[in-house]
Structure 1
Amino acid sequence: MVSEYLKQNTSEFHDAAEKLFNSEKIFNKTFTLEDYKKIIGTNYLMLLHSEDKIFNSLSDKFSEKLQLSERKKLPLIEKDLESLSLKNRTASHYIEFANENEALGAMYVIEGSTLGGNVIAKQLSKTEGFGEVTFNFFGCYQENTGSMWKNFKEVLDTEVKEESYDEVLSGAKKLYTFLLNVN
C-alpha cells in the first residue's frame, strides 16, 4: 500500500518538520503565538505555491474520488494570516510536479498536515494565549478530519500501482523539501 510506503519513506522529513516548528512545545504548553505565526506563515507559502499545481495535475477521476473542492485550504489559511495580522508573502523557492503521481505524493503531505493540524488546534485551544485564535487551516475538516484522511488513503492505496510508488514518493519529498526550506 502506497500510504504505508510514503509513511515509512518520509518519516525523516516529517520529523524535521516537527523540529522546525517546535512541535514538542505544543504538548508541554510552551508553544507561543510567535511559534504559531511561523507555522501558519510557512504552511501558507507551501499552499500558495503548490495547491493549485497539485489540483490541476490530478485527473477528473481523482477530483471526484477525493472531493477536491472540499480539500481547498489556501482560502482558509489566508483567513488565519489575516486574523494574525500576517502579511501575504511569496516564496523564494519554486516547486513543480512532473505528473499526477508526484501531485498525489505532495497531496499526501498536505493531507497529513491537516490530520496533525487537527491535533495541534485541539491542544493549542487549551493553551494560554490562544483563546482568540480561530484555527481555520488546522481545523478545516472539523469532526470530519478522520474520515477525510481515511478517504484520501483509500483512494491512494486503491488507485496507485506499485510501479508508481517512487513517483508518488518523489512528489512527497519535493513538497517536504519546499516546506523545510521556504522561510
Structure 2
Amino acid sequence: MVSEYLKQNTAEFHDAAERLFNSEKIFNKTFTLEDYKKIIHTNYLMLLHSEEQIFNSLSDKFSDRLQLSNRKKLSLIEKDLESLSLENQTASHNLEFNSENEALGAMYVIEGSTLGGNVIAKQLSKTEGFDHVTFNFFGCYQENTGPMWKNFKEVLDTEVKEENYTEVLLGAKKLYTFLLNVN
C-alpha cells in the first residue's frame, strides 16, 4: 500500500519538520505564540506555492472520491495569518509537480499536516496564551479529521499502482523539502 510506503520513506522528513517547529514544546506546554506564528507562516508558504498546482494536476476521478472542494486550505490559513497579524505574500519560489502521482505525494504531506494539526490545535487550546487563537487551518476538518484522513489513504491505496510508488514519493519529498527550507 502506497500510504505505508510513504509513511516509511518520509519518516526522516516528518521528524525534521517536528524538530523545525519545536513540536515537543506543544506537549510540555512551553510552545509560544511566536512558535505558533512560525508554524502557521511556514505552512502558509507551503500551501501558497503548492495547493492550486496540486489540485490542477489531479484528474476528475479524484474530485469526487477525495472531496477536493472540502480539502482546500489556503483560504483557511489566510484567516489564521490575519488573526495573528501576519502578512499575506505572493508566491516567490518555483515548486513544480510533474505528474498526477507527484501531486498525490505532495497532497499526502498536506493531509498529514492536517491530521497532526488537529492534535496541535487540541493541545494548544489548553495552553496558556492561546485563549484567543482561532485554529482555522489546524482545525479545518473538526470532528471529520479521522474520516477525511482515512478516505485520503484509501483512495491513494486503491488508485496508485506499485510501479508509481517512487513517483508519489518524489512529490512528497519535494513538498517536505520545500517546507523544511522555505522562510
1: distance between equivalents of 2:63 and 2:45? 23
**Structure 2 counterparts to residues 16-27 of structure 1, below 5 A:** 16-27=16-27
CA shift for structure 1 position 133? 0.2
CA shift for structure 1 position 166? 0.2
Q: Does 1:75 align with 2:75?
A: yes
Structure 1 stretches of 5 or more lacking a match?
Answer: none
1: distance between equivalents of 2:17 and 2:90? 20
Q: Does structure 2 retain, via aligned residues, the 8 Å contact 1:92–1:182?
A: no
CA shift for structure 1 position 105? 0.1
Equivalent residue letter for 2:6: L
The answer for the alignment partner of 1:85 in structure 2 is 85
**Structure 2 counterparts to residues 47-126 of structure 1, below 5 A:** 47-90=47-90, 92-126=92-126
**Structure 2 counterparts to residues 151-170 of structure 1, below 5 A:** 151-170=151-170
The TM-score normalised by the length of structure 1 is 0.99
Runs of 4 or more above 3 Å deviation = none
CA shift for structure 1 position 92? 4.6
2: distance between equivalents of 1:52 and 1:153? 20
2: distance between equivalents of 1:134 and 1:125? 9
CA shift for structure 1 position 94? 1.6
Equivalent residue letter for 1:136: N
2: distance between equivalents of 1:43 and 1:53? 16
Secondary structure of 1:140's aligned partner: coil
Equivalenced residues, count: 183
CA shift for structure 1 position 91? 5.2
> Any idea what the Cα deviations from partners look like across 1:7-64, whole Å, max 9, x if unmatched?
0000000000000000000000000000000000000000001000000000000111
Change (3 A) 1:58 1:11: same
2: distance between equivalents of 1:90 and 1:33? 24
Q: Does structure 2 retain, via aligned residues, the 8 Å contact 1:46–1:179?
A: yes
Please provide the CA RMSD for this pair: 0.7
Q: Does structure 2 retain, via aligned residues, the 8 Å contact 1:91–1:182?
A: no
> Any idea what the Cα deviations from partners look like across 1:53-107, whole Å, max 9, x if unmatched?
0000000001111000000000000000000000112455320000000000000
> Any idea what the Cα deviations from partners look like across 1:114-167, whole Å, max 9, x if unmatched?
000000000000000000000000000000000000000000000000000000
Q: Does structure 2 retain, via aligned residues, the 8 Å contact 1:117–1:138?
A: yes
2: distance between equivalents of 1:92 and 1:159? 33
The answer for the alignment partner of 1:172 in structure 2 is 172
1: distance between equivalents of 2:116 and 2:135? 13
1: distance between equivalents of 2:11 and 2:93? 23
2: distance between equivalents of 1:28 and 1:173? 29
Aligned-residue sequence identity (percent) comes to 89
Secondary structure of 2:81's aligned partner: helix
